[in-house]
Amino acid sequence: MLVPAMTPLEIYKEIVEDGTSVLRTITTKMHIQTLVMKRTNQFKWVETLHLKSQRNNNWSVVINIQPGMKDINFYVKTDDKQGLTAYSVFMMQEIPMLIKYNAHFFKRYRERMELEETKPDQVLKKFFKNNVRLTPAYSEKADDGTMMAVVSLPDGLGLGRFSESSPITEMKTFIAHSTLNKGQRELVKMLNEDESYQEGITMIGS
């Protein structure tokens, strides 16, 4: 179970191991649901599933399956000193990577998307429902081993930092598409068109 006293490496190990188990459960459910959809001529499955794992972590899985589209987003909720926090998992060069979205990130998301939702849990759900896909990019490594991270999202840009001391990218803030400057819009276009970044989907085992 995730607890605030964990180190980043302990958090990484806990989420990756627990998420792998959750993925197996969801894969089975998806297989059964796909068979049902074929039998009943359904072509669309949009749902958010909430699971409490055997390790007592609260997982949510956003599923959006439509003709020509298959998006699945896993995230786990927890709390830290700043407040409500979420971690999502994506694969980079076959290595599971974590993205941490802290309370400040969700605060900026609510403000800059001008959401009616005010409670942190509502804002978190809105974010993951609207931002199933992501495309990450990283700067050159600094002398202290850190890298700046830019994540292109359907709603805008996430900006954060990655440290080589643990495979966790922490998103610090959010910028909505409507407020991006010319350079930022060009960056989004580059990220979304560059095939080398197209594996950046928030999905374990993608």
> In this structure, are residues 171 and 99 in contact, taking their beta carbons and an 8 Å threshold?
yes
For range 133-150, the mean pLDDT: 82
Model confidence pLDDT, tens digit, residues 153-206:
999 999 999 877 777 899 999 999 888 888 888 877 777 765 444 333 333 333
> In this structure, are residues 75 and 56 in contact, taking their beta carbons and an 8 Å threshold?
no
Model confidence pLDDT, tens digit, residues 10-22:
999 999 899 888 8
> In this structure, are residues 21 and 53 in contact, taking their beta carbons and an 8 Å threshold?
yes
